[in-house]
Amino acid sequence: MVRSLEDAVRIQYVRSGGAGGQHVNKVATAAQVHLGIDKLGLSPGVAERLRRIAGQRLTERGEIVVFADRFRSQVRNREDAMQRLADMLERAKRTPKRRIATKPTRAAKTRRLDTKKKQGERKQMRRKPKPD
């Protein structure tokens, strides 16, 4: 099991498009953070939720790849990618609440049917009268 998130990630820097003029073509400021899910030693339930949350960011090798190029600075992009990864992990650690099936009360059913009846009557009043 890995002690921290930083120990389980591999960071790669690539060139980024967007604002920055000629500087963009010279410096690799965008950050690609690769996180191996298996390296974290998470419980099976948390790992499965993390895979589901990762979606298209999950590679065939079981790595989550987060690409950050919002900022012009390499440091800020790395921090942004790491924060997004940490947020994904926090969401995966929270167990979803179990849904408890409920039935509407008799009063709620009556209210619903009354509303439907009133709406139907209202619409019926808007129709053109039938010729006799």
Please write the tens of the pLDDT for every residue from 79-88: 999 999 999 9
Hey, is 59 helix, strand or coil? coil
Q: How confident is the model at residue 25 (pLDDT cuts 50, 70, 90)?
A: confident
Which residues is 67 bridged to in the sheet? 32
Cβ(28)–Cβ(68) below 8 Å: no
Flag whether pLDDT at 4 surpasses 80: no
The two beta strands, 9-14 and 30-36, are antiparallel
User: Is 3.10.129.10 the CATH classification of the domain at 5-93?
Assistant: no
